[in-house]
Amino acid sequence: MTAPASSGTSRTPFGKHLIRAAGRAGRLVNQLEASVMQSSILASVPFVYRRLGMQTVKLMLLLAVASVAFFLAIGMVALWTIAALPIKSDRQPRIYEVSHPQHQSKYPEMYDDNGSPT
Q: What are the pLDDT digits (tens) for 17-35?
A: 989 999 999 999 999 999 9
The two most distant CA atoms of the chain are separated, in Å, by 98
| 29 within domain boundaries | yes
Contact 59, 91 (CB under 8 A): no
The total of structural domains in the chain comes to 2
- Looking at the structure, do residues 71 and 98 belong to the same domain, yes or no? no
What local confidence, expressed as pLDDT, does residue 3 receive? 58
Residue 115, by phi and psi: left (phi above 0), alpha (psi -120 to 50) or beta? left
| 36 within domain boundaries | yes
Q: Which tens digits make up the pLDDT trace of 47-96?
A: 899 999 999 999 999 999 999 999 999 999 999 999 988 887 777 888 88
d(CA 35, CA 86): 56
Domain coverage including residue 54 = 14-85
| 95 within domain boundaries | yes
